[in-house]
């Protein structure tokens, strides 16, 4: 029997048995992340780590899931991507947990994100949307990469990294793709971009980051995806450019997809037959079985390399260990 193609993909039916797999999902307490956790929990992974900024909310989600799936093993990890200290603590808590499937990490969903925020900076001084959506995930991924590589060496390994991006990473970006001088992302000047452009800029960074990870670590399948225009709480929490969000919200709620549908491309990328997926590519809702190149910037090697080098320089300046060699 041939593996299910994306056009007929139904998570409940088509996600394979996940016994023995260890999975970590950022932003797993709400929106697309909660849908990803729910769909995966039904297929008996060894453990799912649900990362959320507010532990109480995570525990509530976990309690509800365990009523539906009594055998599911789901653990909460506190994670605030606005803070490198919190990211380090989250990674340490995961790596120190003696119940995480004998030291594995099979699937990493870099899903959490913010949009429509008021101008501001993260604790380390990055423009907040870029800092949370890109820099925070880059640090977390770097800290977890040794475990991913360790898992990759196991006989049954099929390690995946799935990054939630957006079509905004093609459409709502500066004319140069990324800003010409990435150091401006450490100033309030960057916060002077409107909230939609700041969001699109961070989502392009997600696409380029996934692309580079696949080049540096070809043994790990790393992809990014656009979930569609999703009817989620991100529209209710938008603070920047409220009038635009207010104007767009009715359209989103009339034409958008629900969170379960929005999660489907990510779930397919995380669980489908490996041969169906092109490493490093970007996929989109509706045609997510075929990679899409919606803008020249998303496949620009110079932008990809520049972002990687700048990100690594910044992480190193904050004491990060660096990327492990294969």
State the catalytic residues. 199
Q: The tokens of 25 are what?
A: 């999902």
| Positive or negative torsion for Cα 233, 237, 241, 247 | positive
> Whose CA is closest to 138, among 80, 198, 206?
206
Decide if 135 contacts 112 (C-beta within 8 A): no
CA-to-CA dists, residue 128 to 116, 180, 188, angstroms: 11, 18, 10
């Amino acid at each position: 029997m041939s593996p299910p193609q994306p056009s007929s993909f139904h998570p409940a039916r088509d996600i394979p048995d996940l016994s023995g797999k260890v999975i970590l999902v950022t932003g797993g307490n709400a929106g697309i992340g909660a849908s990803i956790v729910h769909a995966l929990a039904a297929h008996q992974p060894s453990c799912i780590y649900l990362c959320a900024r507010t532990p109480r909310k995570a525990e509530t989600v976990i309690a509800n899931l365990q009523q539906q799936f009594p055998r599911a093993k789901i653990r909460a990890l506190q994670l605030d991507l606005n803070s490198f200290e919190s990211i380090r603590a989250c990674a340490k808590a995961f790596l120190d947990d003696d119940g995480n499937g004998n030291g594995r990490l099979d699937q990493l969903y870099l899903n959490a994100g913010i949009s429509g925020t008021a101008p501001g900076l993260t604790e380390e001084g990055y423009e907040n949307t870029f800092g949370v959506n890109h820099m925070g995930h880059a640090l977390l991924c770097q800290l977890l990469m040794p475990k991913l590589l360790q898992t990759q060496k196991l006989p049954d390994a099929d390690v995946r990294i799935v990054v939630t991006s957006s079509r905004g990473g093609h459409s709502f970006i500066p004319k140069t793709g990324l800003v010409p001088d990435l150091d401006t992302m450490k100033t309030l000047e960057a916060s002077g971009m409107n909230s939609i452009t700041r969001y699109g800029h961070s989502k392009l960074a997600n696409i380029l980051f996934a692309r580079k990870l696949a080049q540096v670590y070809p043994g790990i399948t790393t992809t990014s995806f656009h979930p569609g225009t999703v009817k989620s709480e991100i529209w209710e929490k938008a603070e920047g450019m409220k009038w635009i969000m207010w104007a767009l919200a009715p359209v989103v709620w009339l034409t958008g997809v629900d969170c379960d549908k929005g999660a489907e491309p990510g779930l397919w990328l995380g669980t489908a037959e490996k041969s169906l997926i092109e490493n490093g590519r970007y996929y989109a809702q509706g045609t997510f079985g075929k990679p899409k190149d919606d803008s020249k910037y998303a496949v620009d090697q110079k932008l990809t390399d520049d972002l990687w080098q700048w990100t690594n320089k910044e992480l190193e300046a904050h004491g990060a260990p660096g990327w492990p060699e294969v």
